[in-house]
Chains A and B, each alone.
Chain A
Amino acid sequence: KAGVTQTPRYLIKTRGQQVTLSCSPISGHRSVSWYQQTPGQGLQFLFEYFSETQRNKGNFPGRFSGRQFSNSRSEMNVSTLELGDSALYLCASTPTGQPQETQYFGPGTRLLVL
């Protein structure tokens, strides 16, 4: 099976702009989770989607949002970008999102906000 794919791999944006990142899970996986990785804060959970519904959400401002499509592909959007949003954004997929399942990660999208 193909692994988790994320596009684009790299992005450069300026403050105030918005950005949309895409994640395609492993075939058959219906749960997609998103994480932000920064040197200062480490890996932090953003949100999880399952069957087009957000089931779980981390402690991030409302500028961070997401959605999931019927084919389980997911997008996350960040509006009004701030310098502190510069990070590696990782998505991961599992069959159903249950805690004992292994999360399979994509290579990430590296976002730089200038």
Chain B
Amino acid sequence: GDSVTQMEGPVTLSEEAFLTINCTYTATGYPSLFWYVQYPGEGLQLLLKATKADDKGSNKGFEATYRKETTSFHLEKGSVQVSDSAVYFCALSDPGSGNTGKLIFGQGTTLQVKP
């Protein structure tokens, strides 16, 4: 079945460091891919998404490119801030039959940014 694998955390970086969080997926079809972020005590917020191969999603300095050949959707940011400290989830939505409204999530990666 469909699945998402994220790099394990926690990831601890100094402010202004470069961030990469790896995400790979397994899907039978051509899924849409998402990165969500969860701040302490809150629900999930969409960070960015890509709905077809080679699409690049970007938001707030974060970027991810949908790579079909490597089944990957790695999250990157050139210079992290303390306010980026949160849990990041990679997710997919498979357009296969009957898969409405269903996101499949990775395990989440905790990012801590130190001043």
Contact = CB atoms under 8 A, between A and B. Distances in A.
Nearest to A4: B43
A102 B34 contact: yes
B46 A102 contact: yes
Contact of B32 (A32, A33, A100, A107): A100
- Interface range, A side: 20 to 34
B101 A42 contact: no
A56 B43 contact: no
Interface stretch (B14-22, B67-75, B76-84, B102-110): B102-110
A45 B94 CA distance: 13
Provide the main secondary structure of the chain B interface: loop
A56 B105 contact: no
A43 B89 contact: yes
Nearest to A98: B100
A99 B100 CA distance: 6
A105 B95 contact: no
A22 interface: no
Contact of A31 (B34, B101, B107): B101
A64 interface: no
A104 B46 contact: yes
A32 to B, nearest CB: 8
A58 B33 CA distance: 19
Contacts of B51: 100
10 contacts: A35-B103, A43-B103, A45-B103, A48-B102, A90-B43, A94-B101, A99-B93, A99-B99, A99-B100, A100-B32
